A = this chain, B = another copy of it.
Amino acid sequence: MIEEIKTVARQRLAAEGANLSLRAVARDMGMVSSALYRYFASRDDLLTVLILDGYNALGDAVEAADAAVTDRTRLRARWLSATRAVRDWALANQAEYALLYGSPVPGYAAPQDTIAAAARTPIVLAAILTDGYAAGIVTAAGFQRPASLPAAVRTDLSRTRDQIAPGLPEELLHAGLTCWLQLFGVLSFELFGQLNNVIDARAEFFGQQMELMADLMGI
C-alpha cells in the first residue's frame, strides 16, 4: 500500500512537476485524501520518503555502472561510466532530481538516514580514486600541496576523507571533490534550463566535461 502510494506520487511528480498534491495522489488511487494520512504523517513526510528513495535509486544506478567495468584498474572508464549513470538517472527522473539537488523546501531539515543515502554517490566516485591510489595507478604527485590549501579546508577534507574515503591523500580527495561539484554543476545547469541557448549538444558536452575532469584527477 505504502509502495503504491509512492509509485503514484512519483508518477504525479513526473507529470506535474515539483509541487506534489496529496489530494491528487489520493484521487489517482480512487481514495479520499484523508486516507493517505494513515500511511504518511504529512506531505513533507511523503516527500522525505521519496527523497530517500531517490538517493538510493541514484546510488543503485551509479554503483551498478561503476561495477559494470570489470577491469577495476580502468579508473577513467569507471569514472565515465558512473558519471554517465548519474546523468541518465537525472534525465529519466527530472522531478526527483530537482527534489534531491534543487532548491530545498523552506523549513525542511534532512534526516540522518537521508544524508547516508545521499553519500552513496560520492562514495562510489571516491572509491575510484581510493582504488587507483591503493594500486599505485594514481599518485598525489601532480596535485596542489596540502600546505597551499587553507587550514580550515584541510580540516574539513581530512574529516570527510575519514568518513567516505579512508586512506586517500587530501590532495586527491580535493581533486575528486572538485570534479564531483563540476559533475552536479553541469547537470543542474542542464536540467534547470541554464544551458538553454548556450549548449545544445548536451550529451556530448557532458561527456567532454567528464573527460576533462578525469584529466584533472589524473586517471
Contacts and interface: CB of A to CB of B under 8 A. Distances in A.
Interface of A: 16-19, 98-99, 101-107, 110, 115, 118, 144, 149-150, 152-153, 155-156, 160, 177-178, 181-186, 188-189, 192-194, 196-201, 204-205, 207-209, 212
Contact of A208 (B153, B181, B194): B153
Contacts of A185: 181-186, 188
Identical copies of this chain, number: 2
A157 B204 CA distance: 12
17 contacts: A16-B106, A17-B105, A18-B105, A19-B106, A102-B103, A103-B192, A110-B193, A115-B197, A150-B204, A152-B201, A153-B204, A156-B198, A177-B198, A178-B182, A181-B185, A181-B186, A185-B185
B189 A181 contact: yes
B17 A192 contact: no
